[in-house]
Amino acid sequence: MSPHETASSHSSPTGSPGHSANVATLPAGVVGPLPTIESHLRLAIEGADAPASLRSAMAYATLDGGKRLRPLLAWHACVAVGGEGPESLPACVAVELIHCFSLVHDDLPALDNDDLRRGRPTLHRHAGEAMAILAGDALLTHAFRVLATTAPEGRFGALAGELAAACEQMIAGQVLDTLGFGGEPEAEQRTDQQRLEAIHHGKTGAMLVAALRMGGLCADGADPGGLDRLSEYGRSIGLMFQIVDDLLDVTQTSEHLGKRAGKDEEAGKLTYPRVLGVERSRALVRELEEESIAALSPLGAPAEPLRALSRYLAVRTR
Ligand code: IPE
Ligand code: IPE
Ligand code: MG
Ligand code: MG
Ligand code: MG
């Protein structure tokens, strides 16, 4: 049975009747690193130089929740270019800390104004807005400290450069998503779909590409051709991931997602279902899934977990 044909109660964004894909449905070879990743995230938070209240806000935003997609991408990218998974841990931890920071700030009243994240109150609801802003700042900063103290010798500069560039793109994407294209050169000539691609590649895709490239860079002796394959794969799954996120917002319940559903339309956000419609968005997800898998073909069998992740991302329901 293909991933598009499996059945259960929550229909997948690609239109398969009732497929409830979650990380637990992935093969053990793909999700096996999760306990190691979780314990390293915990150690990273414990090691933060922060007052107890701030450390507990950082822990609330980071631990015991989330699919850990970005760390899994970093780990399996490392393996795909010939490394050992544990070599990627500095990248796994740094990129997830950045992702958690981006979620905390994304949920703030001035941005998406959300009350629910990962099945519980958002950090600003739990600990107040000032603490949420500061915990986001602290997670961002701590990610670079983790790299500075754990990156393989001689590779801090390359890893920090990748992460900083992805943060800049993520913030740029968030600006376009939240405040629009005012002041952008030739903004009025861009179609809605072109605007959407720019938003999605920025706010979401860049960090997925960075997770992959950083994982690859942690592998001893990875060749640049392998990193190029990872980038191409990452561009396809990055766009696919956010199209699916947009589809889930219109097709799932808040209870199932653990975050508020139906909010994009309410906020007047530019999304794929709004611009292309649900069916064409689903078709695009399938195209991007195929593209991503094709990009990995020169990497052979060690890239199999990345192929499995792409198939999962196309049908995930949360
Ligand atoms: C949600 O990301 C934010 C987006 C970039 C769309 P995830 O869906 O990976 O969130 P968690 O980490 O699993 O909570
Ligand atoms: C969030 O996009 C992207 C970042 C956090 C950078 P969304 O606003 O669509 O994510 P959700 O739906 O709140 O998770
Ligand atoms: Mg947002
Ligand atoms: Mg949001
Ligand atoms: Mg969303």
Per residue in 87-143, pLDDT (tens digit) is 999 999 999 999 999 999 999 999 999 999 999 999 999 999 999 999 999 999 999
pLDDT digits (tens, 9 = 90+) for 208-231: 999 999 999 999 988 889 999 999
CATH 3.30.70.520, domain 17-315, yes or no: no
Helix spans in the chain (H): 28-31, 34-46, 52-62, 69-80, 89-106, 123-127, 129-150, 156-179, 192-200, 206-218, 224-251, 254-257, 263-266, 272-276, 278-295, 304-315
Element (H, E) at 116: strand 116-117
Nearest CA to ligand 1 atom 3: 103
| The ligand 2 atom nearest the CA atom of 117 | 14
Mean pLDDT, residues 260-286: 96
Per-domain residue ranges for the chain? Answer: 17-315
Q: Which of 20-34, 41-55, 246-260 shows the lowest mean pLDDT across its residues?
A: 20-34
pLDDT of residue 103: 98
Q: Which two tokens stand for residue 215?
A: 């994982």
Task: Tell me which of 103, 122, 208 to substitute to probe ligand 1's pocket, judged by most ligand atoms within 8 Å of the beta carbon.
Answer: 103
pLDDT at 8 over 90: no
Res. 2: pLDDT tops 80 = no
DSSP code for 117? E
Are the C-beta atoms of 216 and 78 separated by less than 8 Å? yes
Whether the pLDDT of residue 268 is over 70: the answer is yes
Percent of the chain topping pLDDT 90? 87
Position 17 pLDDT exceeds 50:
no
Instruction: Give the ligand 2 atom nearest the CA of 174.
Output: 6
Residue-averaged pLDDT of the chain = 93
Pocket test for ligand 2, best of 102, 105, 108, 112 (most atoms within 8 A of CB): 112
91: which strand partners? Answer: none
Confidence of residue 11 (pLDDT cuts 50, 70, 90): low
Q: How far apart are CA 190 and CA 243, in angstroms?
A: 19
Give residue 56's pLDDT band: very low, low, confident or very high (50, 70, 90): very high
At residue 18, does pLDDT exceed 50? no
14: Cβ–Cβ under 8 A, 6 or more apart, which residues? 4, 282, 285, 286, 314, 315
Residue 4 and residue 14 in contact, taking contact as beta carbons nearer than 8 Å:
yes
Could you give the percent of the chain with pLDDT greater than 70? 93
